[in-house]
Amino acid sequence: MNPTKKNAGYGRWLFLQVTVFVFLCLLLAPKVRCEFTEAGLRWLFMLVFSFSVAFCLTPVFAAIARKFNIMDMPDARKAHSEATPLLGGGAVFLALIGAVALNGIWAPGISRILAGSAILFIVGAADDIREVRVRYKMAAQFLAAVFVMSGGIVLRVLPDCYGIFSIMGNWVLTMTWIIGITNAMNFFDGMDGLAAGLGAMIAFFLGVIALQTDQPFLGWISVAVMGSCLGFLPHNLKARGRASIFLGDGGSTVIGFVLACIAVYGKWAEHNAVVALVSPLLIFWVLVFDMVYITVDRIYAGKVATVREWLEYVGRDHLHHRLADVIGSKKKSVVFIYMMTACMGISALVLRNASPGDALLLVLQAVILVGLISVLERYGRQETRDKKQETRDRKQETRNKRQETG
């Protein structure tokens, strides 16, 4: 790159950083916050505040990561080719906590969700600094989920008429949901902008439904998650060049955990249990689909045989990897997944006043959609492999002919 253009780009980026920082300082003024609240724009204040904090703190955490060599090193299973700073999740976590604390949003259960996310952030950051064994990370997720569930944040899928079996079943379902979504979001932190972008989109749809159903506290915390992710995103997804920092486990697991808990905590439909269950399921559909797909595929292919092997298995078989192989572009793969998430999220918004039958039809539509995508991407991957094999065969034939004539 031309040094002049490079310096100009750096100057514009620095100017933007300073501008956002000055704006953040203005937001910290009590009078400004009160004016937002009195105007009924508390959600907007939380959005711009969390965005500004995350945007300003991300370069700070990148500098810390470089200073102490907390870097994500490239290898065969990773999408990046250069060492990249971790700890980006620190900016996201502090932006979320700061937005909630500054606005005094301490509804019942919210403090438990944030405390549980703090546990995961500490363990995730420790894993970014020095690898933590999978069993310990899972133990931390289990502890955080139990802490949240003990405060009454539990799915009500099974009716109370089954007594203790209903309680146990709902606890198991809640635990599976929270830990599953937490890890699914962590798995999607494999390409620039993917996890943060997905987190922002899921938080947006949850926030819209929360405000529509008169759940302002859930709407506000959803907006705070959205702003935190969006503030980090410009550093992680660039039109040109690669990411300057990654979320790391300390960020992706926190985003997944908080969003999963919000989905459990919320009441997404009055007197319609099917719609209440299906709405968050559609919003999280991409994460759920990928988790189910890789689990079935790995077991069927004999890649894993036990729970421990599944937890420790690391591969390039996630949705974003498969799409990138077919499309031929990582950024296009990320945009494709954004569009899938938007499609499912819009379906969830339509469900608000739908009948149980309509809800089931939308779920069927989602199943058909991902089924078609799975068939196409598997066919495309096979075509790609065949073409690569043909290229290798031609090269081998050329080498053989040269040896014969030589």
Task: Specify whether 150 is located in the same domain as 201.
Answer: yes
The strand pairing partners of 72, in sequence order, are 84
The strand pairing partners of 71, in sequence order, are 85
Q: Count other C-beta atoms under 10 Å from residue 335's C-beta.
A: 17
Residue 244 lies in a domain: yes
Task: Specify whether 116 is located in the same domain as 133.
Answer: yes
Burial zone of 132 (CB within 10 Å; 0-12 exposed, 13-18 middle, 19+ buried): middle
What is the domain extent for residue 44? 13-267
Residue 7 lies in a domain: no
Residue 3 lies in a domain: no
Looking up tokens 């998430």 gives 341
Task: Specify whether 247 is located in the same domain as 311.
Answer: no
pLDDT tens per residue across span 118-156: 999 999 999 988 888 888 999 999 999 999 999 989 988
Q: Count other C-beta atoms under 10 Å from residue 330's C-beta.
A: 20
Task: Specify whether 275 is located in the same domain as 195.
Answer: no
CB of 131 closer than 8 Å to CB of 167: no
Task: Specify whether 20 is located in the same domain as 127.
Answer: yes
Task: Specify whether 241 is located in the same domain as 389.
Answer: no
CB of 270 closer than 8 Å to CB of 264: no
Task: Specify whether 169 is located in the same domain as 158.
Answer: yes
Q: Which of 222, 249, 267 is the last residue of a domain?
A: 267
What pLDDT was estimated at residue 203? 96
CB of 284 closer than 8 Å to CB of 182: no
Q: Which of 220, 236, 267 is the last residue of a domain?
A: 267
Listed residue (362, 186, 144, 184) closest to 274, CA to CA? 362
Residue 217 lies in a domain: yes
Task: Specify whether 155 is located in the same domain as 169.
Answer: yes
Cα(310)–Cα(6) distance, integer angstroms? 45
Residue 377 lies in a domain: yes
Residue 183 lies in a domain: yes
Task: Specify whether 89 is located in the same domain as 226.
Answer: yes
What pLDDT was estimated at residue 5? 54
Q: Which of 206, 237, 267 is the last residue of a domain?
A: 267
Task: Specify whether 287 is located in the same domain as 391.
Answer: yes
Residue 5 lies in a domain: no
Cα(18)–Cα(63) distance, integer angstroms? 17
Instruction: Kindly provide the b/e burial profile for residues 23-48, where b requires at least 16 CB atoms within 10 angstroms of the residue's own CB.
Output: ebeeeeeeeebeebeeeeebbebbbb
Number of domains in the chain: 2
What pLDDT was estimated at residue 79? 56
Task: Specify whether 23 is located in the same domain as 170.
Answer: yes
Task: Specify whether 83 is located in the same domain as 205.
Answer: yes
- Tokens describing residue 349: 């918004």
CB of 254 closer than 8 Å to CB of 93: yes
What pLDDT was estimated at residue 3? 54
Residue 253 lies in a domain: yes
What pLDDT was estimated at residue 77? 58
Single-letter amino acid code for the residue at 320 = H
pLDDT tens-place values along the chain, 406 residues long: 555 555 556 677 777 888 888 888 888 888 888 888 888 888 999 999 999 999 999 999 999 999 999 888 776 555 556 788 998 999 999 999 999 988 877 777 888 999 999 999 999 999 988 888 888 999 999 999 999 999 989 988 877 777 888 889 999 999 999 999 999 999 898 888 999 999 999 999 999 999 888 888 889 999 999 999 999 999 998 877 788 899 989 999 999 999 999 999 988 876 677 778 888 888 999 999 888 888 888 888 788 877 777 777 777 778 888 888 778 788 888 999 999 999 889 988 888 777 778 778 888 888 888 788 777 777 766 666 666 667 776 777 777 767 766 5
